[in-house]
Amino acid sequence: MLRELRIRNVAIVDRLDLELPGGFVALTGETGAGKSIVVAALGLALGEKARPEHQRTAGEESSVEALFDDPPPAVRARLEAAGVPAGAELVLRRVLAPGGRSRAFVNDAAVALSTLEEIGRELIDIHGQHQHQSLLRVETHLDFLDGFAGLTAARAAYRAAWERLEALAREREALARGEQEKERRLEFLRFQQEELARAALEPGEEERLRAEREVLRNVGRLAGAAGEAEQLAYSGEASASGAAGAAARRLAEAAAIDPALAAIAGAIAGAQTALEEAGRELQGYLARLEADPERLAAVEERLALIGRLKKKYGPTVEEILARQESLAAEIGRWEQGSARLAALGRELAQAADAAAALAAALARGREEARGRLERRIGEELGALAMGASRFAVRLWREEDPAGPLLVDGHRWRADERGIDRAEFLLSANPGVEPRPLARIASGGELSRVMLALKAALADADRVPTLVFDEVDIGIGGGTARAVGERLRAVARGRQVLCITHLPQIASLAHVQYTVDKKAVAGGTRVRVRRLEESGRINEIARMLAGDAVTEATLRHAAELLGVGRGGKRGG
């Protein structure tokens, strides 16, 4: 569960520390106060893409830190796999440096941004203002169904089998292009192989050559610096080692009178020895240092060759060497010719059988989950003042005589998600057949369908924290209260953060924060304050009536909060 969120220099937020409890938490405030910036900052901590507008001031570093307690087992497993220490607390940190560079940390250990994103998905599910529109894209519906059905691992196994099948098919197609194509390709590959063999590149060579070139270009400056330093330290008339020796001798004589000076004399004598050693090393350095125009020219030529090869084969010497290895493997495959083609035929048949079996298992899981999802969403919509509506999941397949997967005696059109297609249908009125969401659902209905899906999926994957950014789009009145009650119910056993403009929803929260901003010297400051009872009444009243708050409005706000705390759905 998310316990703390610390934001520094993000958008219009200069500094914000927010402590969050469990249960249903509402964030309210006037439009433009900065509520959505809090969610955007949280998204950065979870690995979302950074944008220029996230940085408050050019030239300053921005950062977001999210502290979680009791991370779930899946997160602990990912941490162990990434070599990151795991404990009772987990801290995700994202730093945006000037110029757009980004760094990610987990428990102060630097990690790849993808690792931060993977861990974040296990901790928080953010539903932003635009996300309910994803329901209008049919291609997302299968993802929702698979998430509810708990088919993530099965789908990943199928996708790996599908990708292997596609890779084998591409290889067979390449080999089957004919002997003429084969010879042209082999000639080209061998030319590249010979070119790289002649170059004989070594790992780290470019960096070593650049360092050597820098020395060769600056022999005069280096000799002057080293020679002057050697004179000052060792061999000059007024050298530091000579002065140290004289000082050591004087103090040694004086130590006969005051033994306290003996240690100091010894220290200075040690310094004299170190200076003498440094002086001799500088003499050796100077003896080795000499201008070598021929070597400089050879280094420049070698670096120019590396530059030409990088343009052709890859941005680094290491990638060029990897390409050299892959060339040998590809040449070997081409030279195997028909024998490889025959072997590929057998491998393809086996890969197709494996992918077909996994696709069939996915299809069975989806068919079994379809009815459960329909019933669950129906229950959720009933709790969201859409009890008369009917939600349905349409599953279908398309035959493809040339398709690679044979399932139940038919060849089906397939892709990396399987052989199924899915679409969500909705009927908002009794007696009307369900139709595609994209053709009939209003904005308010879409928001509620998405909330119903999120509630169903949350039970399936048990993400500990859910964030809803303005889930109240297009609704009001009794519907808003139903949405608030559902959010409060979902918050049993988990944390729910909701940004809302509706008093009916905010009044049902266990805890309410208000977000405001004010002009200060040099810019704008955003505040987030936890409201106690009187503060909540005033804020709910503002949400009800805007600037025209009256005694009647305050009484209405108090009534809303009373129901929110003590009503039968209070939770």
Rounded alpha-carbon distances, angstroms, from residue 319 to 108, 178, 194, 302, 313: 30, 30, 17, 17, 7
Backbone angles phi, psi at 310, to 5 degrees: -65, -35
> In the prediction, which pLDDT does 538 show?
92
Torsion sign (Cα): 251, 253, 257, 260: positive
Q: Which residue in 101, 329, 308, 67 sits closest to 193, CA to CA?
A: 329
Q: Which 3 state secondary structure label does DSSP give 425?
A: strand
Q: Are 362 and 154 in contact (CB under 8 A)?
A: yes
> In the prediction, which pLDDT does 568 show?
42
Q: Which domains are delineated in the chain?
A: 1-129+470-531 (3.40.50.300), 132-165+355-462 (1.20.1050.90), 177-336 (no CATH)
Secondary structure in 3-state letters for 42-77: HHHHCCCCCCHHHECCCCCCEEEEEEEECCCHHHHH
Backbone torsion region of residue 522, taken as left when φ is above 0, otherwise alpha when ψ lies between -120 and 50, otherwise beta: left
> In the prediction, which pLDDT does 283 show?
85
Q: Which residue in 11, 51, 104, 36 sits closest to 467, CA to CA?
A: 36
How do strand 435-436 and strand 2-10 relate by DSSP bridges?
A: unpaired
140 class by beta-carbon count within 10 Å (0-12 exposed, 13-18 middle, 19+ buried) = middle
**Which residues are 96's β-sheet partners?**
62, 102
Terminal C-alpha separation, the chain: 19
Structure letter (DSSP) for residue 404: S
Residue 330 tokens, joined: 């590809």
Low pLDDT (below 70) residues in the chain: 33, 56-59, 128-134, 178-180, 337-338, 440-443, 459-461, 470, 521-523, 563-571
* CA atoms within a 13 Å half-sphere pointing along the CA-CB vector of 434: 15
Q: Which residue in 107, 126, 102, 19 sits closest to 54, CA to CA?
A: 102
